[in-house]
A = this chain, B = another copy of it.
Protein backbone atom coordinates (compact mmCIF):
# COMPACT_ATOMS: atom_id res chain seq x y z
CA UNK A 1 0.00 0.00 0.00
CA UNK A 2 1.36 3.37 -1.05
CA UNK A 3 -0.01 6.46 -2.72
CA UNK A 4 -0.32 5.94 -6.46
CA UNK A 5 0.36 9.04 -8.51
CA UNK A 6 -1.18 10.03 -11.83
CA UNK A 7 1.54 8.54 -14.04
CA UNK A 8 0.44 10.62 -17.03
CA UNK A 9 2.20 13.60 -15.47
CA UNK A 10 5.53 11.84 -15.92
CA UNK A 11 4.88 11.51 -19.66
CA UNK A 12 4.26 15.22 -20.24
CA UNK A 13 6.79 17.15 -22.24
CA UNK A 14 8.36 20.14 -20.57
CA UNK A 15 6.63 23.24 -21.89
CA UNK A 16 9.84 24.80 -23.04
CA UNK A 17 8.76 27.25 -25.77
CA UNK A 18 8.85 30.51 -23.87
CA UNK A 19 11.78 29.52 -21.67
CA UNK A 20 13.77 28.61 -24.79
CA UNK A 21 12.91 32.00 -26.30
CA UNK A 22 14.00 33.72 -23.08
CA UNK A 23 17.24 31.71 -23.08
CA UNK A 24 18.13 32.69 -26.66
CA UNK A 25 17.41 36.35 -25.90
CA UNK A 26 19.68 36.22 -22.84
CA UNK A 27 22.53 34.72 -24.85
CA UNK A 28 22.13 37.35 -27.57
CA UNK A 29 21.99 40.17 -25.01
CA UNK A 30 25.14 39.04 -23.24
CA UNK A 31 26.97 38.78 -26.56
CA UNK A 32 25.63 42.10 -27.85
CA UNK A 33 25.37 44.47 -24.88
CA UNK A 34 25.80 47.57 -27.07
CA UNK A 35 22.51 47.00 -28.95
CA UNK A 36 20.55 45.01 -26.40
CA UNK A 37 18.49 48.08 -25.45
CA UNK A 38 17.16 48.15 -29.03
CA UNK A 39 15.28 44.88 -28.55
CA UNK A 40 11.57 45.03 -29.43
CA UNK A 41 9.35 42.21 -28.17
CA UNK A 42 6.60 41.29 -30.63
CA UNK A 43 6.12 37.78 -29.27
CA UNK A 44 4.19 38.56 -26.13
CA UNK A 45 0.64 37.31 -25.79
CA UNK A 46 0.03 39.66 -22.90
CA UNK A 47 -1.66 43.04 -23.03
CA UNK A 48 0.23 46.24 -22.21
CA UNK A 49 -2.52 48.88 -21.91
CA UNK A 50 -3.62 49.58 -18.32
CA UNK A 51 -7.08 48.76 -16.94
CA UNK A 52 -9.79 51.23 -18.01
CA UNK A 53 -10.56 54.01 -15.53
CA UNK A 54 -14.13 52.77 -14.98
CA UNK A 55 -12.84 49.31 -14.03
CA UNK A 56 -10.30 50.71 -11.57
CA UNK A 57 -12.95 53.00 -10.03
CA UNK A 58 -15.40 50.12 -9.63
CA UNK A 59 -12.75 47.99 -7.92
CA UNK A 60 -11.77 50.82 -5.55
CA UNK A 61 -15.43 51.30 -4.60
CA UNK A 62 -15.82 47.55 -4.06
CA UNK A 63 -12.63 47.37 -1.96
CA UNK A 64 -13.99 50.15 0.25
CA UNK A 65 -17.31 48.28 0.59
CA UNK A 66 -15.36 45.27 1.81
CA UNK A 67 -13.80 47.42 4.51
CA UNK A 68 -17.13 48.39 6.13
CA UNK A 69 -19.26 46.00 8.19
CA UNK A 70 -22.50 47.23 6.58
CA UNK A 71 -21.38 46.54 3.01
CA UNK A 72 -18.90 43.68 3.58
CA UNK A 73 -19.48 40.53 1.50
CA UNK A 74 -18.35 37.05 2.48
CA UNK A 75 -18.79 33.93 0.38
CA UNK A 76 -20.49 34.74 -2.90
CA UNK A 77 -22.23 32.32 -5.25
CA UNK A 78 -19.62 29.96 -6.75
CA UNK A 79 -21.05 30.58 -10.23
CA UNK A 80 -20.80 34.37 -9.92
CA UNK A 81 -22.89 37.30 -8.76
CA UNK A 82 -26.14 38.02 -10.58
CA UNK A 83 -25.04 41.58 -11.41
CA UNK A 84 -22.16 40.26 -13.52
CA UNK A 85 -24.06 37.35 -15.03
CA UNK A 86 -26.75 39.83 -16.07
CA UNK A 87 -24.14 42.06 -17.74
CA UNK A 88 -22.79 39.07 -19.66
CA UNK A 89 -26.31 37.94 -20.60
CA UNK A 90 -27.06 41.38 -22.05
CA UNK A 91 -23.75 41.41 -23.94
CA UNK A 92 -24.74 38.20 -25.73
CA UNK A 93 -28.06 39.68 -26.85
CA UNK A 94 -26.01 42.01 -29.07
CA UNK A 95 -25.17 38.97 -31.19
CA UNK A 96 -28.74 37.69 -31.03
CA UNK A 97 -27.86 35.04 -28.45
CA UNK A 98 -30.40 34.58 -25.64
CA UNK A 99 -28.93 32.91 -22.57
CA UNK A 100 -30.48 31.98 -19.30
CA UNK A 101 -28.66 33.38 -16.28
CA UNK A 102 -28.03 29.83 -15.03
CA UNK A 103 -26.10 29.05 -18.21
CA UNK A 104 -23.43 31.64 -17.36
CA UNK A 105 -20.63 30.72 -14.97
CA UNK A 106 -18.20 33.45 -13.90
CA UNK A 107 -14.65 32.11 -13.69
CA UNK A 108 -11.15 33.27 -12.83
CA UNK A 109 -10.19 32.92 -16.49
CA UNK A 110 -10.65 30.74 -19.55
CA UNK A 111 -7.48 28.73 -18.85
CA UNK A 112 -8.82 27.42 -15.53
CA UNK A 113 -12.17 26.44 -16.96
CA UNK A 114 -10.72 24.89 -20.12
CA UNK A 115 -8.67 22.63 -17.88
CA UNK A 116 -11.29 21.94 -15.23
CA UNK A 117 -14.13 21.18 -17.67
CA UNK A 118 -12.40 17.87 -18.43
CA UNK A 119 -13.48 16.66 -14.98
CA UNK A 120 -16.91 16.13 -16.55
CA UNK A 121 -15.67 13.72 -19.21
CA UNK A 122 -14.59 10.11 -19.08
CA UNK A 123 -10.99 9.22 -19.91
CA UNK A 124 -12.30 7.16 -22.80
CA UNK A 125 -12.98 9.98 -25.27
CA UNK A 126 -11.09 10.83 -28.43
CA UNK A 127 -10.13 14.48 -28.59
CA UNK A 128 -9.61 16.54 -31.75
CA UNK A 129 -7.48 19.67 -31.73
CA UNK A 130 -6.51 21.82 -34.68
CA UNK A 131 -2.80 22.15 -35.37
CA UNK A 132 -1.16 24.66 -34.69
CA UNK A 133 -2.66 24.61 -31.24
CA UNK A 134 -2.72 26.39 -27.87
CA UNK A 135 -0.62 23.79 -25.97
CA UNK A 136 -2.99 23.74 -22.96
CA UNK A 137 -5.63 21.77 -24.92
CA UNK A 138 -3.17 18.95 -25.51
CA UNK A 139 -1.45 18.93 -22.11
CA UNK A 140 -4.68 18.89 -20.09
CA UNK A 141 -5.88 15.84 -22.03
CA UNK A 142 -2.53 14.09 -21.74
CA UNK A 143 -2.86 14.48 -17.97
CA UNK A 144 -5.98 12.30 -18.26
CA UNK A 145 -4.48 9.95 -20.88
CA UNK A 146 -7.09 10.77 -23.53
CA UNK A 147 -6.33 10.02 -27.15
CA UNK A 148 -5.63 13.27 -29.03
CA UNK A 149 -5.85 13.54 -32.83
CA UNK A 150 -4.87 16.57 -34.89
CA UNK A 151 -6.64 18.41 -37.68
CA UNK A 152 -3.71 19.83 -39.58
CA UNK A 153 -3.89 23.28 -41.09
CA UNK A 154 -1.84 25.07 -43.67
CA UNK A 155 -1.95 27.71 -46.42
CA UNK A 156 -4.25 25.37 -48.33
CA UNK A 157 -7.12 25.74 -45.88
CA UNK A 158 -6.02 29.20 -44.76
CA UNK A 159 -5.36 27.68 -41.33
CA UNK A 160 -9.05 26.94 -40.89
CA UNK A 161 -9.39 23.15 -40.88
CA UNK A 162 -12.85 21.86 -41.75
CA UNK A 163 -14.62 18.66 -40.67
CA UNK A 164 -13.51 15.46 -42.40
CA UNK A 165 -14.43 11.82 -41.77
CA UNK A 166 -11.03 11.08 -40.21
CA UNK A 167 -11.58 13.86 -37.66
CA UNK A 168 -14.35 11.98 -35.88
CA UNK A 169 -13.88 12.68 -32.19
CA UNK A 170 -15.93 12.87 -29.00
CA UNK A 171 -14.54 16.21 -27.91
CA UNK A 172 -13.53 18.91 -30.40
CA UNK A 173 -11.57 22.03 -29.53
CA UNK A 174 -12.13 25.09 -31.71
CA UNK A 175 -10.56 28.49 -31.06
CA UNK A 176 -11.82 31.38 -33.19
CA UNK A 177 -10.30 33.92 -33.61
CA UNK A 178 -7.49 31.46 -33.30
CA UNK A 179 -4.44 31.46 -31.09
CA UNK A 180 -1.82 31.36 -32.63
CA UNK A 181 -2.98 31.86 -36.25
CA UNK A 182 -5.48 34.72 -35.83
CA UNK A 183 -7.69 32.95 -38.40
CA UNK A 184 -11.44 33.29 -37.79
CA UNK A 185 -14.28 30.99 -38.85
CA UNK A 186 -17.20 32.54 -40.69
CA UNK A 187 -20.79 31.47 -40.04
CA UNK A 188 -20.89 28.86 -42.78
CA UNK A 189 -17.72 27.13 -41.65
CA UNK A 190 -18.71 27.15 -38.01
CA UNK A 191 -22.15 25.78 -38.95
CA UNK A 192 -20.39 22.85 -40.62
CA UNK A 193 -18.55 22.05 -37.40
CA UNK A 194 -21.79 22.26 -35.41
CA UNK A 195 -23.44 19.93 -37.92
CA UNK A 196 -20.47 17.55 -37.72
CA UNK A 197 -20.61 17.51 -33.90
CA UNK A 198 -24.33 16.84 -34.00
CA UNK A 199 -23.91 13.92 -36.42
CA UNK A 200 -21.21 12.37 -34.26
CA UNK A 201 -22.61 13.15 -30.84
CA UNK A 202 -19.48 15.17 -30.07
CA UNK A 203 -19.11 18.17 -27.82
CA UNK A 204 -17.31 21.27 -29.08
CA UNK A 205 -15.23 23.18 -26.53
CA UNK A 206 -15.26 26.63 -28.12
CA UNK A 207 -12.54 29.03 -27.00
CA UNK A 208 -13.77 32.58 -27.65
CA UNK A 209 -11.01 34.35 -25.71
CA UNK A 210 -10.36 36.70 -28.63
CA UNK A 211 -13.98 37.43 -29.62
CA UNK A 212 -13.61 41.15 -28.86
CA UNK A 213 -11.38 41.52 -31.92
CA UNK A 214 -14.05 40.18 -34.28
CA UNK A 215 -15.42 42.66 -36.83
CA UNK A 216 -18.02 42.51 -39.58
CA UNK A 217 -20.29 39.51 -39.86
CA UNK A 218 -17.98 36.93 -38.30
CA UNK A 219 -19.50 35.20 -35.26
CA UNK A 220 -18.41 36.26 -31.76
CA UNK A 221 -20.03 33.23 -30.17
CA UNK A 222 -20.66 29.70 -31.35
CA UNK A 223 -24.19 30.11 -30.00
CA UNK A 224 -24.92 32.40 -32.95
CA UNK A 225 -24.99 29.15 -34.96
CA UNK A 226 -28.32 27.29 -34.91
CA UNK A 227 -28.04 23.97 -33.10
CA UNK A 228 -24.94 24.91 -31.12
CA UNK A 229 -26.85 24.78 -27.84
CA UNK A 230 -26.98 21.00 -28.22
CA UNK A 231 -23.28 20.51 -28.92
CA UNK A 232 -21.11 23.29 -27.49
CA UNK A 233 -19.60 24.83 -24.38
CA UNK A 234 -18.06 28.29 -24.77
CA UNK A 235 -15.14 29.77 -22.82
CA UNK A 236 -14.51 33.46 -22.76
CA UNK A 237 -12.05 35.74 -21.06
CA UNK A 238 -11.82 39.39 -20.14
CA UNK A 239 -8.01 39.16 -20.40
CA UNK A 240 -7.58 40.54 -23.88
CA UNK A 241 -10.85 42.47 -24.02
CA UNK A 242 -10.17 44.59 -20.96
CA UNK A 243 -6.59 43.95 -19.88
CA UNK A 244 -7.57 41.40 -17.22
CA UNK A 245 -4.56 39.10 -17.71
CA UNK A 246 -3.38 39.97 -14.18
CA UNK A 247 -6.83 40.65 -12.71
CA UNK A 248 -8.36 37.27 -13.61
CA UNK A 249 -11.95 37.03 -14.75
CA UNK A 250 -13.78 35.22 -17.51
CA UNK A 251 -16.98 33.28 -18.07
CA UNK A 252 -18.07 29.92 -19.37
CA UNK A 253 -21.39 29.22 -21.07
CA UNK A 254 -22.84 25.75 -20.56
CA UNK A 255 -26.28 25.51 -22.19
CA UNK A 256 -28.88 23.71 -20.11
CA UNK A 257 -29.85 21.90 -23.32
CA UNK A 258 -26.52 20.06 -23.50
CA UNK A 259 -27.01 16.45 -22.44
CA UNK A 260 -25.05 13.23 -22.92
CA UNK A 261 -25.64 9.73 -21.53
CA UNK A 262 -28.25 10.91 -19.05
CA UNK A 263 -26.10 13.72 -17.70
CA UNK A 264 -26.95 17.39 -18.04
CA UNK A 265 -23.62 19.15 -18.58
CA UNK A 266 -24.89 22.39 -17.06
CA UNK A 267 -25.89 20.66 -13.82
CA UNK A 268 -22.63 18.70 -13.81
CA UNK A 269 -20.55 21.86 -14.21
CA UNK A 270 -22.53 23.55 -11.43
CA UNK A 271 -21.79 20.55 -9.20
CA UNK A 272 -18.10 20.68 -10.15
CA UNK A 273 -17.79 24.39 -9.45
CA UNK A 274 -19.75 24.37 -6.17
CA UNK A 275 -17.52 21.49 -4.98
CA UNK A 276 -14.06 22.52 -6.25
CA UNK A 277 -14.29 26.31 -6.57
CA UNK A 278 -15.46 29.18 -4.40
CA UNK A 279 -16.19 31.94 -6.87
CA UNK A 280 -14.24 34.96 -8.10
CA UNK A 281 -13.34 37.87 -5.80
CA UNK A 282 -16.26 40.26 -5.32
CA UNK A 283 -13.93 43.18 -6.09
CA UNK A 284 -12.87 41.61 -9.39
CA UNK A 285 -16.48 40.92 -10.33
CA UNK A 286 -17.37 44.58 -9.76
CA UNK A 287 -14.45 45.54 -12.00
CA UNK A 288 -15.68 43.11 -14.64
CA UNK A 289 -19.20 44.51 -14.44
CA UNK A 290 -17.83 47.97 -15.26
CA UNK A 291 -16.47 46.67 -18.58
CA UNK A 292 -20.03 46.22 -19.77
CA UNK A 293 -21.18 49.71 -18.70
CA UNK A 294 -21.54 52.45 -21.33
CA UNK A 295 -18.39 54.21 -20.11
CA UNK A 296 -16.51 50.91 -19.82
CA UNK A 297 -17.44 49.82 -23.34
CA UNK A 298 -16.15 53.12 -24.72
CA UNK A 299 -12.83 52.72 -22.94
CA UNK A 300 -12.50 49.09 -24.02
CA UNK A 301 -13.20 50.01 -27.62
CA UNK A 302 -10.38 52.57 -27.45
CA UNK A 303 -7.92 49.96 -26.17
CA UNK A 304 -8.96 47.43 -28.79
CA UNK A 305 -8.65 50.06 -31.51
CA UNK A 306 -5.11 50.75 -30.27
CA UNK A 307 -4.16 47.08 -30.69
CA UNK A 308 -6.03 46.87 -34.02
CA UNK A 309 -3.99 49.82 -35.32
CA UNK A 310 -0.84 47.93 -34.35
CA UNK A 311 -2.13 44.87 -36.16
CA UNK A 312 -2.69 46.99 -39.26
CA UNK A 313 0.87 48.31 -39.16
CA UNK A 314 1.99 44.67 -39.20
CA UNK A 315 -0.39 43.42 -41.91
CA UNK A 316 0.42 46.46 -44.10
CA UNK A 317 4.07 45.44 -43.93
CA UNK A 318 3.22 41.84 -44.85
CA UNK A 319 1.04 43.03 -47.75
CA UNK A 320 3.80 45.30 -49.01
CA UNK A 321 6.33 42.46 -48.83
CA UNK A 322 3.88 39.94 -50.34
CA UNK A 323 4.28 37.66 -47.35
CA UNK A 324 1.48 35.16 -46.75
CA UNK A 325 -0.26 35.55 -43.38
CA UNK A 326 -3.47 34.92 -41.50
CA UNK A 327 -4.99 37.01 -38.70
CA UNK A 328 -4.47 40.67 -37.89
CA UNK A 329 -7.94 41.63 -39.08
CA UNK A 330 -10.09 39.97 -36.43
CA UNK A 331 -7.28 39.13 -34.10
CA UNK A 332 -4.27 40.60 -32.28
CA UNK A 333 -2.12 37.82 -33.77
CA UNK A 334 -0.43 37.77 -37.16
CA UNK A 335 0.69 34.35 -38.33
CA UNK A 336 3.14 34.76 -41.17
CA UNK A 337 5.06 32.47 -43.43
CA UNK A 338 8.77 32.72 -42.75
CA UNK A 339 10.46 34.42 -45.72
CA UNK A 340 12.97 32.49 -47.81
CA UNK A 341 11.55 29.11 -46.83
CA UNK A 342 13.24 29.44 -43.45
CA UNK A 343 12.14 27.21 -40.60
CA UNK A 344 10.65 29.07 -37.66
CA UNK A 345 13.57 28.78 -35.23
CA UNK A 346 16.10 29.89 -37.88
CA UNK A 347 13.89 32.85 -38.69
CA UNK A 348 13.59 33.61 -34.96
CA UNK A 349 17.38 33.65 -34.59
CA UNK A 350 18.01 35.80 -37.64
CA UNK A 351 15.24 38.31 -36.82
CA UNK A 352 16.66 38.63 -33.30
CA UNK A 353 20.26 38.99 -34.41
CA UNK A 354 19.76 41.18 -37.48
CA UNK A 355 16.65 43.24 -36.63
CA UNK A 356 16.60 43.01 -32.80
CA UNK A 357 12.96 41.92 -33.01
CA UNK A 358 11.50 38.99 -31.07
CA UNK A 359 8.51 36.92 -32.18
CA UNK A 360 7.30 33.39 -31.48
CA UNK A 361 8.44 30.46 -33.65
CA UNK A 362 5.44 28.60 -35.09
CA UNK A 363 7.06 25.24 -34.32
CA UNK A 364 6.20 25.87 -30.69
CA UNK A 365 2.50 25.45 -31.52
CA UNK A 366 2.69 22.17 -33.45
CA UNK A 367 3.93 20.54 -36.65
CA UNK A 368 1.97 22.85 -38.96
CA UNK A 369 3.86 25.78 -37.52
CA UNK A 370 7.33 24.67 -38.64
CA UNK A 371 7.66 27.39 -41.26
CA UNK A 372 5.48 30.04 -39.63
CA UNK A 373 5.95 32.80 -37.11
CA UNK A 374 3.62 34.66 -34.73
CA UNK A 375 3.75 38.41 -34.18
CA UNK A 376 1.40 40.15 -31.76
CA UNK A 377 -0.27 43.57 -31.73
CA UNK A 378 0.21 44.10 -27.99
CA UNK A 379 3.25 46.40 -28.21
CA UNK A 380 3.15 50.20 -28.45
CA UNK A 381 2.52 52.02 -31.76
CA UNK A 382 6.06 53.37 -31.71
CA UNK A 383 7.69 50.00 -31.17
CA UNK A 384 5.39 48.25 -33.65
CA UNK A 385 6.32 50.80 -36.37
CA UNK A 386 10.01 50.62 -35.59
CA UNK A 387 9.90 46.81 -35.51
CA UNK A 388 8.15 46.66 -38.88
CA UNK A 389 10.66 49.04 -40.47
CA UNK A 390 13.48 46.78 -39.29
CA UNK A 391 11.52 43.70 -40.36
CA UNK A 392 11.13 45.12 -43.87
CA UNK A 393 14.81 45.97 -44.20
CA UNK A 394 15.76 42.53 -42.95
CA UNK A 395 13.45 40.73 -45.37
CA UNK A 396 14.59 42.86 -48.33
CA UNK A 397 18.18 41.97 -47.47
CA UNK A 398 17.42 38.23 -47.50
CA UNK A 399 15.82 38.37 -50.95
Closest chain B residue to A2, Cβ basis: B201
- Flag if B284 contacts A281 (CB, 8 Å): yes
Evaluate whether A69 and B50 lie within 8 angstroms (CB atoms) in the complex, with A2-B202, A260-B2 already known: yes
Is there an interface contact between B51 and A261, defined as CB atoms closer than 8 Å? no
A385 CA / B48 CA spacing, docked (Å) = 54
- CB of A217 within 8 Å of the partner chain: no
Q: What is the bound-complex CA distance between A23 and B115, given in angstroms?
A: 35
* Interface stretch of the complex, out of A96-104, A270-278, A334-342, A365-373: A270-278
Q: Contacting A120 at CB < 8 Å: which of B6, B72, B171? A: B6
Nearest B residue to A265 via CB reads: B5
If the complex has contacts A10-B262, A263-B9, A275-B143, are A3 and B202 also in contact, measured as CB distance less than 8 A? yes
A56 at the A/B interface (Cβ < 8 Å)? yes
Contact A274 B15 (CB under 8 A): yes
CB within 8 A of A76: which of B50, B55, B246? B246
Decide: A46 and B74 in contact? CB cutoff 8 A.
Answer: yes
Distance of A229 from chain B, by nearest CB (Å): 15
Contact A277–B112 (Cβ < 8 Å): yes
A27 within 8 A of partner (CB): no
* A203 close to B (CB within 8 Å): yes
Does A63 contact B63, Cβ atoms closer than 8 Å? yes
Contacts of A7 in B (CB 8 A): 122, 261, 263
Across-interface contacts of A243 in B (CB, < 8 A): 66, 72, 74
How many of chain A's residues have a CB under 8 angstroms from any CB in B? 86
B72, B111, B124: the one contacting A50 at CB < 8 Å is: B72
**Cβ-based interface call for A297 (8 A):** no
Residues of B within 8 A of A281 (CB): 108, 246-248, 281, 283-284
Residues in B neighbouring A72, C-beta threshold 8 A: 48-51, 243, 246
A75 touches B246 (CB 8 A): yes
> Is A168 interfacial (CB-CB < 8 Å)?
yes
- A396 interface residue (CB < 8 Å to B): no
Would you call A12 an interface residue if the criterion is a C-beta within 8 Å of the partner chain's C-beta atoms?
Answer: yes
Taking CB atoms, residues of chain B closer than 8 Å to A280 are 108, 248
**Any chain B CB within 8 A of the CB of A216?**
no
Question: Once the chains bind, are B46 and A66 in contact (CB under 8 Å)?
Answer: no
Judging by beta carbons under 8 Å apart, are A122 and B6 in contact? yes
**A40 CB → nearest B CB, Å:** 17
Residue positions of A touching B, CB distance < 8 A: 1-7, 9-10, 12, 15, 46-53, 55-56, 59-60, 63-64, 66-69, 71-76, 108-109, 111-112, 114-116, 119-122, 124-126, 136, 139-140, 143, 168-171, 200-203, 243, 245-248, 260-263, 265, 268, 271-272, 274-284, 287
Smallest CB-CB A-B distances: 4 pairs: A115-B276, A2-B201, A56-B67, A46-B74
10 pairs across A/B with beta carbons < 8 Å? A1-B201, A4-B122, A6-B120, A50-B66, A51-B63, A53-B67, A59-B283, A60-B64, A66-B243, A281-B281
